Amino acid sequence: MGRRTRALPSVAVAIGSVATAGLLFAGAVTASVARTVLRPPRRAEHDIRVVAVDRNAGTVVLTATVDALLPGDYSFWFGEEAEHARLGEILDRSHGTVTRRLIAVDSGDFVPGVRGRISGWFHLHPGELGVPVEDVRVRTSLGNAPAWQIPAEQPTRRWVIQVHGRATLRQEAIRAIPVFRAAGWTSLLISYRNDGEAPPSPDRRYALGDVEWLDVEAAVLYALDQGAEQVVLMGWSMGGTTVLQAATRSGLADVITGVVLDSPVINWTDTLRYQGEAASLPGPVQAGALRLISSRWARPVTGQDQPIDLDRLDFIARADELDVPILIMHSDDDGFVPVNGSRELAAARPDIVTFVPFAGARHCKLWNYDRERWEGAITQWLDRLEARPSSGAEPESGQASDQRP
């Protein structure tokens, strides 16, 4: 009995040590998740293997992942993310593989055994479209940020500013140039802080749109200096949050006449929880990461100069502040950013929001999946925007829609 009594403190110490280790581990995981949100890895997972390549037939056989089975034309990044090929239509499926049309190999040794990933970019430079392109610089508070300026087919004072998403570059938006150019809009594809092209912020951390909108505002000022009188902002994924911030917080908001969103983040809290669940992160880790990135006291852990105001990034709660026509295109099975936010915003503001849902297209791959539908939605929306009464008049009713494929 005495020996058992003496053993109890040792057992308690052991249990306490295990509990402490568990807490430390959970804390380390939480901190790592928070830092990944702010500084995502530059190289995405290479989850597709090249099984066979036939250059003469112009075909490639890939392992059949969800992305590899998507209809349409796509980029395929492999190697060290510098090697690039372009894939076309699906020709055959069998035994866990998919055969696709091989459109081109732009760089790298594209051989069996190589691993890579599908991307929605497709184009690497606007010049591939056969349109005039000017390399320009947008003066931001951090320095000059590179951008591409593509004029409309005819002289115009209408500009669209394209804002790419998190952990990607302005090449993402090249797909939108033809439809806007044909409709009479000059395109400006910008870079912004911490994307690897524009000057970085001192902390080199993303703010999920809470600060990046300042670079969008600088782009609007650039467009005005070049003669623009109407500006539409288009945002992809996190770029959606960023342009909505600009439309509601910028002193130049009066010249912003509309917003187009592709697979947008409408509410970052819901999006990060969705991604955490997809990664099987425990609830306390998800909640802890949100707390870290939004708390001033956590700056030594996250490396942020300033915390992120997640409430300010919730446009379901801020829906009443929006006052320009908005086109939202989002896939129901996005897989990365939940469609719920887009649907909720459309329901909250049917007076100004046109919602065009897709099915099966995945995140930021709507153009690739169904180019005709995607371009048609933008063209029709721009036609309505042009016919809309001038600023100050009541918006047209009945603009909201739920067009299904």
Which domain-ending residue is among 93, 119, 145? 119
* Contact present, 244 and 258 (Cβ < 8 Å): no
Among the listed residues 100, 52, 40, 50, the one whose alpha carbon sits nearest the alpha carbon of residue 78: 50
Query: What are the pLDDT digits (tens) for 183-219?
Result: 999 999 999 999 999 999 999 999 999 999 999 999 9
From 119, 148, 170, give the residue that closes a domain: 119
We report the CATH number of the domain holding residue 112 as 2.40.30
Q: What's the confidence (pLDDT) of residue 232?
A: 98
Residue 37 falls inside a structural domain: no
Residues 227 and 111 placed together within one structural domain of the fold: no
Quick: pLDDT tens for 304-344: 999 999 999 999 999 999 999 999 999 999 999 999 999 99
| Domain identity same for 99 and 145 | no
> What does pTM read for this prediction?
0.90
Are 179 and 378 in contact, with CB atoms under 8 Å apart?
yes
**151 and 81 within one domain:** no
Give the total number of structural domains in the chain: 2
Q: Which domain holds residue 155?
A: 126-268+311-387
Cβ-based neighbours of 376, under 8 Å, separated by 6 or more: none
Structure tokens at 342: 């887009």
Both 197 and 331 in one domain: the answer is yes
Provide the sign of the torsion angle of the four alpha carbons 271, 258, 251, 162, taken in this order.
Answer: positive
99 & 142 share domain: no
Q: Are residues 163 and 260 in the same domain?
A: yes
**3-state helix vs strand vs coil in the chain, percent to 5:** 35, 25, 40
Q: Is the pLDDT of residue 387 over 70?
A: yes
Residue-wise pLDDT tens digits, 33-91 = 889 999 877 777 899 999 999 999 999 999 999 999 999 999 999 988 889 999 999 99
Classify residue 99: in a domain, yes or no: yes
**Does residue 319 fall inside a structural domain?**
yes
**CA 359 to the chain's CA centroid:** 18
CATH of the domain at 345: 3.40.50.1820
- DSSP letter, residue 37: H
If asked whether residues 264 and 180 sit together in one domain, one would say: yes
Alpha helices in 39-67 (DSSP H): none
| Range name among 183-187, 367-371, 387-391 with the lowest pLDDT average | 387-391
198 and 68 within one domain: no
Which tokens is 220 given? Answer: 């609007």
Residues linked to residue 234 through DSSP beta bridges, in sequence order: 162, 260
Q: Are residues 259 and 171 in the same domain?
A: yes
Q: What are 218-248's pLDDT values in tens digits?
A: 999 999 999 999 999 999 999 999 999 999 9
Q: Are residues 71 and 106 in the same domain?
A: yes
Domain membership of residue 31 (yes or no) is no
Q: Is residue 277 part of a domain?
A: no
For residue 40, give the nearest of 268, 170, 146, 195 by alpha carbon. 195
DSSP characters for 330-397?
Answer: EETT-SSS-THHHHHHHHH-TTTEEEEEESS--TT-HHHH-HHHHHHHHHHHHHHHHHSPPTTSPPPS
Q: Of 224, 231, 220, which is closest to residue 159 (Cα–Cα)?
A: 231
Q: H/E/C letters for each residue in 218-282? A: HHHHHHHHCCCCEEEEEEECHHHHHHHHHHHHCCCHHHEEEEEEECCCCEHHHHHHHHHHHCCCC
Burial class of 29 by CB neighbour count within 10 A (0 to 12, 13 to 18, 19+): middle
Residues 83 and 132 in one domain: no
∠ CA 109-67-263, rounded to 5°: 120
Q: Classify residue 12: in a domain, yes or no.
A: no
Neighbouring CB atoms inside 10 A of 96's CB total: 9
State which of 119, 137, 160 marks the end of a domain.
119
Does 81 lie in the same domain as 135? no
- Residue 160: inside a domain: yes
Positive or negative: CA dihedral 348, 168, 29, 211: negative
Task: Identify the band that residue 389 occupies on the pLDDT scale cut at 50, 70 and 90.
Answer: low
